[in-house]
Each structure stands twice: as structure tokens, then as C-alpha cells.
Amino acid sequence: MACSFAWPKLTALTGHHPPTGSPLRHPPPAAAHLPLVPPLFVLPSLRDWVHLVIRFSSMHGVKQPRNPWSDGPEHIAQCPIKSNKNYTQEIVLTDEVGTLWWHAHSDWSRATVHGAIIIKPKGVNYPYRPLPDPDEKTIIIASWYNGNVEDEFEKARNLLGPAPSDAYTINGHAGNCFRDCEANVSVISVESSKTYLLHIVNAVLNEEMFFAIDDHNLTVVAMDGAYVAPITFPYIMLGPGNTMDVLLTTKNESTTNYYMAAGYYHSGGPDPLTLSATALLQYKSDAVMPTCSADFLPTHEDFDKAENFTNSIKSKDPQVVPPMTPGRQYVIEIAAYGPNTFNPPSRSSLSNISYVGKCNDSLEYNATFPHNQSEYGPTLHGNNVILLEYGDVVDIVFQGTSRGAETHPMHVHGYSFFLLGRNYSTFNNNSLINTVNPPVLNTVSVPTNGWAAIRFKADNPGVWFIHCHLERHATWGMATALIVKEGNNVTMQTEPNGHASLC
Ligand SMILES: [Cu+2]
């Protein structure tokens, strides 16, 4: 088979990133005034610290207790770090276990600046069986652009697109099914009759993804850094930002190798039409090569398979879910497109507020946010955030709308949350929620035009970003943040040297 497409090797996995020029990438906020009285909340006035030198990255899913300074998102926890400058971040792990990941959190640089974080339980004492082989495998699914991803960011920012990615990759390669090219395929080597633990990360920019291995089942045992009740499917589906720990039991005997593949799930919005990535599950290097195919994946529109999988995820053990603090429910409507009167038009919003971070002499926030639709104002730009007392138990109901109807993988920094429920309807207080065995996640797929309800205890003081993990939506303002006040004996760590000078 002729190789008609020369596939470049991804050097960016080593952490290189092109200089981004001006550190302030966003336009100044529009001269708009929100209908709410805006008390300013300036981060350094709260009180206050931060090792591991990575440039402007976010530890996705790491709670970073009392340490928002190391959380990473530009215009939220810090101003963006200028080209050729360093900033030291400290990762503090608490109850996270399994797979998480880190990624750049400036513009769209996370497309290539990312990697897995694998957290093993003490004594590598896994609570599931069979125990996996010590040779654990990491699989990172990502987006590939032939051009500079920053150009796509600029297009998105200027509402011109953006173009879908030119390919997906598995561990840096699109695979040898891609455009009949025989070169550049990632290989996962296995032996017969063993169980392997796969650490899987969806680092794709703008799509939820199916992943499968031909003629093999996958048993999910953890998601987003917390154990789940094991479920076995011939495929998995994970949103951008989600991570999964998956057991793979190999065949007793195999005279052939098998393909694995990652392809998008299309729930609505623009169809990316991007070809699926493939990689090789290799039993023997001299084994029979199967015909290259990704046909064993669910089809891109397979709603039932996506939903059956997603709704099967429950926590491993029964949970103790605290009751919500009265008055602490926020019903947040998601809109991927604003009305045409919005200037500039077609920006995304949460509860009619299109987030534009402020990063001038310091980070500034408007500490008011509507609780529900009765408090919404007209759609405007703002830096509005949710202000919480330490210890509040908070419900956030993400309500999808017809304005840009597709699933939205909503991600919360600084916290994991109980996923109380999700459904294809309009939420009301009689909607069915699960307080028995809700999974503990950091990114939830909000159903197309439906709702997802999450609960968490606000016990991590600091400022924490909330955003859609479809990068084009976050760019357009589908974002806000939490500011959690300090408790009596629970203060933030000291602001680190150099943090304030980033602004
Ligand atoms: Cu979205």
C-alpha cells in the first residue's frame, strides 16, 4: 500500500510550545455593565504559595488544597506566563488515585503541551480484581493540526471557525489506517493471558471520543482520579478532560495482532469529520497483521452507545453525600451561541454571562452570579464568579439549551464533585438525583439540551475555574469561577514569590 501522506512525529509531546507573543491574548472587556451590583474581588487580598517547573500548566483534576496559586489557568489563578519565563508550580495530592493529567492552560496550547499523571494507591494495593500486570500502559488521545494551533485559536477567538483538527492521535501518531499511510503507528505490546491496566486520557481539544480495541472488552475501574464500580463494555466514551483506568484482559492465545481506535462522538454542533486514529495492540511482532480498520468503533452518531456507557458509571462504594446548604443551588444555563445583539455576536455564555478574565495590575473578579433564570440579565461580557462561604455544600445544575445544542463537558478546578444526575429534559427540583452511589468526577458531560447536577463541599479556599472543556466554547466565554473564602482555621497557602509579578 502506497504511503500518500507523510506523517510528522509529534515533537510537542516533549513539552515545547511556540512563543505566544503578547501575554495578554484576550480583547479588553466590552464596556458592558451587568445588572447586578458588582463588588470587586481581588485575589491577592484573600491571603496566601508553590516545585516542578512547567510553563503555565494546569494539573487537571488535582485538587491542589489551599493552593490556587499552582492551579494554572490564565486570567483565573494567574496571569499568563510570558515567553521564555519560568514559573514553579507545586502539585499537592490528597485523595486522588488512578489517572489524571496535566496540560497547558493558555490559549489552545494544551493541544500538544500535556501528559498523564498516574497516582498509585499506597502499596499499589488495587481494590479490583484481577490484579493488573506491573507493566501498565498509558494511552493519550489527542488532536493534531497540520498548521499552528494558535492560528485556530485566533480563528475561534474571531468567530471564524475554528477548523476541526486534521487528525486525532493515539500516543502521538494517527496510525497506519490514516489516509492509507503505512508509517507511524503507536504500538502497545502485550502478552497472552494477562490483565493490563490502561491509563487513558482524552486530551482532544473539541470532541468527546469513543475508544475501543477490536475484539476485546474494556473494564473501567476508575475515572477522573476516583474508583468506580467496574463496568465492562466493548468500547468506552470519554469527554475531553476525562481520564479512565481500564482493565484489558488479553486472549489466551493469539496468532494475530489487533487494532485499537479513537474516533469522535458527534452529539450536535459542527461535525468535525476528522478521521479516527488507530494504534496496534501487538501480541507478537511477527504475528499476522490484520486489515487496518476502525470499524469496530461505535458510529459517530451512536447516541444509545454513548449514553448507555456514560450512565453506567457509578461510584465503587456507597457515598455519604451531604445535604445542600439552603440557598446554595445555582442553575446555570449553557449557551454556545449568544443572540446577535451581543457584541461581538455569537459568544458562548453561562447564565447569559460570557466570561472575560481580567488581568491588569492584579486578577480581578466580579463576585456576583445569578442563582437561576429569574436573576439572569441580558447576555453580556463579564468576569462574574460564584462567591462561597467556606464549608457551603453547593449544587450546580448545568442546564443545556437550544442555543448551541450539543453535549458540554463541564470541568471544575480545585474540586471533585458528586454527579447527582443527568438527563435529557429541563431540570426541576423533582428531577431524579442519585445520592446513593454517584460517581466522583471532575468533568461531566451535560446532555444535549438536558441537564447535569453536581454537588460538592466548598472546603478548598481559593479561586477555581469552571469551564466547558470543548476549547472553542471556553474561548468564547463558556466559563466562570468559584471563589471560596477561607475558613476559621483553613487558610490559603502563602502567595508564592513572583506570582503577583506575572500580571
Ligand atoms: Cu461547550
Closest to 472 in 3D by CA, of 96, 73, 156, 60: 156
Q: How remote is the CA of residue 78 from the centroid of ligand 1, in Å?
A: 23
CA of 329 from ligand 1 middle (Å) equals: 21
Q: What's the residue count for the chain? A: 503
For residue 10, name the pLDDT band (cuts at 50, 70, 90). Answer: very low
Between the CA of 397 and the centroid of ligand 1 the distance, in Å, is 15
The answer to whether residue 372 scores a pLDDT higher than 80 is yes
The partner residues of 265 in beta bridges, in order of sequence, read 208
Quote the ligand 1 centre to 425 CA distance (angstroms).
Answer: 17
Distance 470 CA to ligand 1 centre (A): 5
Output the pLDDT for position 455: 98
Ligand 1 centroid, distance to 410 Cα (angstroms): 7
User: Minimum mean pLDDT among 229-238, 300-309, 423-432: which range?
Assistant: 423-432
Instruction: Set out the domains of the chain in order of their start, with CATH numbers.
Output: 128-315 (2.60.40.420), 329-502 (2.60.40.420)
Residue 201 CA neighbour count, 13 Å, CB half: 28
**Mean pLDDT of the 35-46 span:** 31
- For residue 67, what is its C-alpha cell? 493552593
Distance CA 40, CA 358 (A): 11
Phi, psi of 184, deg, nearest 5: 60, 75
Cα 161 to middle of ligand 1, angstroms: 15
Quick one: pLDDT at residue 169? 94
pLDDT at 448 > cutoff 50: yes
| Cα–ligand 1 centroid distance for 336 (angstroms) | 6
For the ranges 87-96, 148-157, 341-350, 464-473, the maximum mean pLDDT occurs at 464-473
Averaged pLDDT, 345-373: 83
CA 468–ligand 1 middle distance (angstroms): 5
**Would you say residue 162 has pLDDT above 80?**
no
Q: Is the peptide bond before 290 cis (omega within 30 degrees of 0)?
A: no
Residue 67's pLDDT band, with cuts at 50, 70 and 90, is confident
Q: Model-level pTM?
A: 0.86
6 CA → ligand 1 middle, Å: 33
> Does residue 25 carry a pLDDT above 70?
no
User: Ligand 1 mean position to 101 CA, how many Å?
Assistant: 20
Q: How far is the CA of 238 from the centre of ligand 1 (A)?
A: 14
CA of 168 to the centre of ligand 1 (A): 19
Q: Give the pLDDT of residue 90.
A: 75
* Cβ atoms within 10 Å of 187's Cβ, excluding its own: 12
State the cell numbers at 433.
438525583
Closest CA to 109 of 23, 223, 170: 23
- Give pLDDT tens digits for 277-311: 999 999 998 888 788 889 999 999 999 999 999 99
Instruction: Give the integer Cα–Cα distance in Å for 496 and 465.
Output: 19
Tell how far the Cα of 473 is from the centroid of ligand 1, in angstroms: 5
Answer whether 43's CB lies under 8 Å from 362's CB: yes
Q: What percent of the chain has pLDDT over 70?
A: 83
